[in-house]
Structure 1
Amino acid sequence: MNTWAVPGYTESLELGSGASGRVVLAVHEETGVPVAVKYLSEALRTRPGFVREFRAEARLLGGLESPYVTGLYEYVESPDGAAIVMELVDGVSLRALLSGQGPLDPEAALVLLKGSLLGLDDAHRIGVVHRDYKPANVLVVPDGTSKLVDFGIAVDAGTKVGVAGTPAYMAPEQWTGAPASPAADVYAATATFFECLTGHKPYPGDNLAQLALQHVDSPVPAEEVPESVRDLVRRGLAKDPRERPAHAAAFVTELEAVAGAAYGPGWEERGRGRLAALVALLPLLLPSSRDTPRTTTDTARTVLGPEPGLGRWRSWRPSRPGMLVAGAAVLLAAILSYGVQHPPGADPQEAAQALATTSARPGVTPGGPADGTAPAHSSAPPPTSTASTGMSPSDPATAATGESTTSTAAATTTPSAPETTTPAATATDATPTTTAPTSPAPPAVKDVAVSSFRQTGPTTASATIDITTDGTGPISVTVSWSTSDTGVQLAGTPDGASQTFERSGATQYTLTVDHTFQGTGCYWTVQATTTPASADGGASQQLLTRGCGLR
């Protein structure tokens, strides 16, 4: 078993575990603030595809500012392990709540659905599809509010990544490997809402083949839910994604209209009170009730809901500064592939901490003592408490459900978070540069790939480009952009000047490059070529802009 632990934190107990890793309760040593640390399993850490997805989850959380989604504090990667340090949600999973207390009344179910839909909406607004909404990934806190967790298989909207999700909640189009869409999240949220009301899943298939047929062909079992919400269930579970609300925000609007008409203006307050009462019946499932290390630090007190006056602590939550996580993850990817050399006698864990920890500490920006900034060291999370495991909790009530995420995709396109950089470009060199007395000969470029290309604003986009060579000699990478109204890449019009980056000293490089488009075409294209030329001739990727896609 891997015993590596994130430097700067004291761990107390395991909150949950699964095939992909484990989540532990820990305390930030400098402040005493409790956090949840999600570790990638030792078996998966040696498989590059899973490591990329783990980094992508951290990058996504760093760019997702939402009170309805568990927050990221920092991402840490070293030669000995990888971990995501998250907000500790002091709550009970919806799966445990349903297992222990049975079906919910309509008002409580509507409140729970609305809260997690608002979390989905914040993801949908930045072009991200969760793909794994289910009771185990919704946490209910003692004040009756809820949070959405585990973005482990989330992707950019429109990405085609194969069949992935939890079978009991997968939309018909997910079974066929169609491109990811917010409408699939709406379907999964409605399936969960159905289970909240009835105590069972919409379709009772005993195997994958049967479940697939039921989700694709069987009638929506709306007659099993209260009449007041049947239309809501029919809309959310529609077989054709075009007949569902297009995204979470549209579904919230419909939900509020239905709830207000059926249950009156006090439905939300009553539903939240009912959820709080149910959580109070399961106190031993709250992380705060377990053997948490005690501290005298006032700022480490658990806060069970949004509270005014948090002052500087609220600013610790990463928003755009949290985008540094993306750069750190990319940097570490190549450092690890190239090999980190520890000086004789050096502590590998200390070296990993110096190289691998990116924090969103309030008032701290990258720099040195000369500009009055602190070194990049693990920093204090805010006093918001949450238990976001993203894995099957150790609690038998949750583990017994048999829910597991299925994925047959060969690879996942990792969402790239927006960068606060100049419009020209941001290039992150993913490997160390070595100096030799003489310049090595240019290597052969074996592969060039655009691993991510996403729209980050009305006129801006960000692309991540991976290059593999057979030697450490110098290469140059040229990135160019074009727009088109036809969707045919060769017919595109060049957009702005191309950018060229010089690299040497490694065999793998990753560049993250931003661009502000001047053209008005609905399709944007990025193309990467190298000198020496790559064996595959370079790489390109195209996307349909959100503005055109919503027409």
Structure 2
Amino acid sequence: MDAWVVPGYTEYRELGSGGSGRVVLALHDATGVPVAVKYLAERMRADSAFVRGFRAEARLLGGLDTPHVVGFYEYVEAPRGAAIVMELVDGVALRALLSREGATGPEAALVVLKGSLLGLAAAHRTGVVHRDYKPENVLVAADGSSKLVDFGIATDHGTAPGVAGTPAYMAPEQWRGEPASPAADVYAATATFFECLTGRKPFSGENLAELALRHIEAPVPDADAPEPLRPLIRQGLAKDPAQRPRNAAVFVAELEAVATAAYGPDWEERGRRRLAALAALLPLLLPSFGGPATGTTALATTTLPAPPAPRP
């Protein structure tokens, strides 16, 4: 049996796939607008909890109005499948940049952190915690801007106790199974910032138990970062969530003050140019180039002129 396709769209090729589904490049038939369609894997449709989570991800994306999170167009569910239709972004995953080029430099790292924090701030204002911020879930566009993607395990602030997230970026309280909070997203964003600055993760371990212990007890490795940016690392990676900025918006204000004092008023423009140059080194990964499929969150996008008109 052929795979189910969202009515009203023509698929062109797969952009990525994973255990929970696949993402394809498609055109909206009525307008010709390119989109990314995230399909729920057929085997997951029998799992009612997973289906509820997929619906929740669509509702969350639909409620966010920010250029720093991938845009939402519509959610479609039918007897043969379910899909989220999203903005297509022509860029590459931050993970690909770090894997192939290493550290980005301080100004580019600050730009990534600021864009990510602004995306997280939009979610935090609605009472939602992302819980899985990491380089795989940040897309760097060809102009050096970035967008946050994949709210698949996001949850309401203060709910969903239990260990959840990606180990290298999980805050100490996540390892302890405590309820989700914006401070945990701040920690994950800072861990990614550290990786952009240094080319490595802040903590490592031979196994999960050792990694957990380092996140919970090891000193913050701020000495590895450029001196002017060490206060941001210390704040964002503080062991006690009460000692971190309470949410992403508060951290953005601190970041801008530190960045301007350290690198001058034009730091953001230079950082974006640097990110654009790094993305240009990986043209084969751009959806516009037609490169091979990658992981589901290692996607690129093209900013859409307008969302497809709702179907009657």
How would you bin the TM-score normalised by the shorter chain?
over 0.9
Deviation of 1:304 after TM superposition, in Å, equals: 5.6
1:105 has 2:105 as partner? yes
Cα offsets for 1:288-319 (capped at 9, x unmatched): 1117xxxxxxxxxx99669xxx6xx3xx4xxx
SS state at 1:26 partner: strand
1:59 equivalent in structure 2: 59
Deviation of 1:287 after TM superposition, in Å, equals: 0.6
Cα offsets for 1:361-382 (capped at 9, x unmatched): 3xx7xxxxxxxxxxx44xxxxx
SS state at 1:194 partner: helix
Structure 2 CA distance for aligned equivalents of residues 109 and 303 of structure 1: 20
CA contact (8 A) 1:14 1:25 kept: yes
Cα offsets for 1:118-160 (capped at 9, x unmatched): 0001111111100010000000001111000000000111113
Structure 2 CA distance for aligned equivalents of residues 39 and 89 of structure 1: 17
TM-score by length of 1: 0.54
Please give the residue correspondences for 1:148-167 in structure 2 after superposition, counting only pairs within 5 Å.
148-167=148-167
Please give the residue correspondences for 1:452-467 in structure 2 after superposition, counting only pairs within 5 Å.
none
1:36 equivalent in structure 2: 36
Structure 1 CA distance for aligned equivalents of residues 11 and 163 of structure 2: 36
CA contact (8 A) 2:162 2:178 kept: yes
CA contact (8 A) 2:87 2:302 kept: no
Higher fraction of helix: 2
Structure 1 residues 65 and 166, CA, compared in 2 at 3 Å: closer, same or farther?
same
2:212 equivalent in structure 1: 212
Larger Rg: 1
1:13 has 2:24 as partner? no
2:144 equivalent in structure 1: 144
Matching residue's letter, 2:78: S
Matching residue's letter, 1:237: L
Matching residue's letter, 1:187: Y
- Report 1 or 2 for greater relative contact order, CA contacts < 8 Å, sequence distance ≥ 6: 2
Please give the residue correspondences for 1:36-435 in structure 2 after superposition, counting only pairs within 5 Å.
36-290=36-290, 313=306, 316=307, 361=309, 376-377=311-312
CA contact (8 A) 2:91 2:286 kept: yes
CA contact (8 A) 2:87 2:303 kept: no
Structure 2 CA distance for aligned equivalents of residues 165 and 206 of structure 1: 18
Structure 1 CA distance for aligned equivalents of residues 246 and 132 of structure 2: 17
CA contact (8 A) 2:88 2:302 kept: no
Structure 2 CA distance for aligned equivalents of residues 2 and 225 of structure 1: 51
Higher fraction of strand: 1
Structure 2 CA distance for aligned equivalents of residues 27 and 283 of structure 1: 21
Deviation of 1:161 after TM superposition, in Å, equals: 3.4
Matching residue's letter, 2:14: E
2:23 equivalent in structure 1: 23
Deviation of 1:262 after TM superposition, in Å, equals: 0.6
CA contact (8 A) 1:2 1:42 kept: no
* Percent of aligned positions that are identical: 71
Cα offsets for 1:12-65 (capped at 9, x unmatched): 111111111111111111111111110111111101000000000001111111
Structure 2 CA distance for aligned equivalents of residues 142 and 200 of structure 1: 24
Structure 2 CA distance for aligned equivalents of residues 115 and 64 of structure 1: 15
SS state at 2:76 partner: strand
CA contact (8 A) 2:287 2:301 kept: no
Structure 2 CA distance for aligned equivalents of residues 21 and 40 of structure 1: 5
Matching residue's letter, 1:18: G
Deviation of 1:99 after TM superposition, in Å, equals: 1.0
Matching residue's letter, 2:180: A
CA contact (8 A) 2:141 2:301 kept: no
Structure 1 CA distance for aligned equivalents of residues 184 and 229 of structure 2: 20
Matching residue's letter, 2:175: W
Deviation of 1:243 after TM superposition, in Å, equals: 0.4
Structure 2 CA distance for aligned equivalents of residues 79 and 87 of structure 1: 24
Matching residue's letter, 1:154: A
Matching residue's letter, 1:125: R
SS state at 1:165 partner: coil
Structure 1 CA distance for aligned equivalents of residues 189 and 20 of structure 2: 23
Task: Give ranges in structure 1 of 5+ residues lacking alignment.
Answer: 292-301, 317-359, 365-375, 378-551
Matching residue's letter, 2:97: L
Deviation of 1:93 after TM superposition, in Å, equals: 0.4
Cα offsets for 1:203-235 (capped at 9, x unmatched): 111321111111111111111111110111011
Structure 2 CA distance for aligned equivalents of residues 280 and 91 of structure 1: 9
Structure 1 residues 102 and 284, CA, compared in 2 at 3 Å: closer, same or farther?
same
CA contact (8 A) 2:130 2:154 kept: yes
Matching residue's letter, 1:196: C
Equivalenced residues, count:
305
2:295 equivalent in structure 1: none
Deviation of 1:2 after TM superposition, in Å, equals: 6.4
Structure 1 CA distance for aligned equivalents of residues 228 and 161 of structure 2: 37
Structure 1 CA distance for aligned equivalents of residues 38 and 98 of structure 2: 24
SS state at 1:288 partner: coil
1:515 equivalent in structure 2: none
Structure 2 CA distance for aligned equivalents of residues 144 and 79 of structure 1: 40
Matching residue's letter, 2:222: A
Matching residue's letter, 1:13: R
CA contact (8 A) 1:35 1:86 kept: yes
Runs of 4+ in 1 over 2 A off after TM superposition: 302-306
TM-score by length of 2: 0.94
CA contact (8 A) 1:143 1:305 kept: no
Structure 1 CA distance for aligned equivalents of residues 32 and 186 of structure 2: 38
SS state at 2:179 partner: coil
Deviation of 1:195 after TM superposition, in Å, equals: 0.5
